[in-house]
Structure 1
Amino acid sequence: MVLSSIENGSKVNIEIKESAVIEERKTTVILIYDEQHQVSIPITQGAAPAALVKEIKFPTELLGQPLGAGQTFDLNSVMQILPENAGNKVLNYNITGDEGVISITDGILKTLSAGSATITAAATDASEITADITITVNNSLPFKRDLWTIDTSIRYENADKTNYVPDNTTGLPEHLLDEATTTYLSLAKPGKTVNGCNTPEGHELYFVVDTKAEQTFNYFIWSHRSSNSMTYLRIWGISIYGSHDGENFDVIQESVPIDYSTIENKIAIPESTYRYIKAKLVDWSDLNGITSGSSLQVAEFNLGKE
């Protein structure tokens, strides 16, 4: 913030208040006596000088929770290095503890097998700042999804142009990743309308999960909504695809049946390594002669490696 004042009618005082903005900024102070008598004073606040690292923070999503084996995290994109104007944000990583539990190469963390290990992240400037985190790996767990994002194949022509069918406080894509089977992603069946949301006849419904790093997996978990047992709300089959860039998808397995009578389904698929996962909905009640209901709902989606 720039503040200006005139002292004794002849001296202009300009004060630049402290700010969290570290980039160079420019502004203009205009002194006006009347329309014929005014002057503009350009002011440039230089960029903040590079600083030494004062603090390193691991993402909260990795703190205090066990991780499944086989998962990958790109620490380069989620580590917090303070202050913002630190001149050198490159970190070195060192692992201590059980061997073979995790690996880190160029900031890419991989969970390998059961056990515990500690990661020390160290600044590479002269600050000597470090931070530690202990990672526990459990082979029986699926992947941790806190950093993942999700999108769907459709934008509805409702007031908010949502990519889902609002259903009170749920229906959102991210509810596929929230560890709850009472919340869910809701979509209108092709050719039907729900809560003002119409899916055109023939539209291929799918969702895409961005796992933020290349993951190696050989099963997925599909959970139906637990608060409603009507099978016409459930998806009966999907085709699953993988992509490295989010644009070009390879077939992992097509027409995978899903048991609509069981809440949680753990389904083996060919071992694959991809960052983006697309699940296309290919089977549901209407395709089997049961035309009740207008929405399709799924509560949870996850991946894992055994």
Structure 2
Amino acid sequence: MKLTNKIGVIVDSIGVGVREGLKKAKEVGADGVQIYAVKGEMDPANLTAAGRRELKDLIASHGLEISALCGDLGGHGFQDKTANPDKVEKSKRILDLALDLGTNIVTTHIGIVPEDENGEIYHSMQTACEELSQYAHNAGAYFAIETGPERALHLKRFLDSLSTNGVSVNFDPANMVMVTGDDPVAGVYALKDYIVHTHVKDGIRYREVDPREVYGALGFEPMDHGKISQMVSSGEIFAEVPLGEGKVDFDRYFAALQDIGYAGYLTIEREVGDQPEIDIRKAVEFIRRYKA
């Protein structure tokens, strides 16, 4: 196996701001970057046409490209029908920004897809995602749902219910390992028609947990949310770890991506740790071993 995929880095994982983060991403050996585009200087409302051109030129000046933008708006995704109109419009503006900056992918969380396909929350999510799917499809673009909150086959069933693949998948193997205990390799094959972007991350699951305890859900209140949060942050339930130190079988996982013909980015995400730049540099080296 010899990977040919480009390597990306989430600039925000480095923790030094966008512009300095671009320099660091190039220094650690990335081909491209993913950037959060929800608030602050990257909020679409704060970037004029001239500002977008300047940022695109700056990224190119470092020899980089954008693998995707992150447009995660929080608040249980699209479960709340009263909040969805504003969220859908904001998501569209983030996609417009992505296209202006040279990528056609916006990654996001949509909330946990409920088991009850006839319930109000499922319908609210379906309605919002159908609108986003059509908008992205008409622009030749994708909203990419991050894996983890539900098992791959259940997510596939939800995606199959939409009229286009404008809402597709950002595959994160560590989220699956840590939260649902799903097998990332089986997940790749289940979601093969939808994977347009990936996060490279590793993790360990120590005990079973209701995904709602981790991601939250509309109308769901854990018995002791503070205790659950403490257990998550302390690593008592699961832990994100450097690549190769967790339970993601990268030999099989990368082989599966290659087998389905995935040619997109392998984008490194590091959400914990006090030396993110060092961890990300090591992650680039880890992936490069599969490209040698």
Question: What range describes the TM-score normalised by the shorter chain of this pair?
Answer: under 0.3
TM-score by length of structure 1 reads: 0.21
Structure number with greater Rg is 1
Give the strand-richer structure, 1 or 2: 1
Structure with the greater relative contact order (CA < 8 A, sep ≥ 6): 1 or 2?
2
TM-score by length of structure 2 reads: 0.21
Give the helix-richer structure, 1 or 2: 2
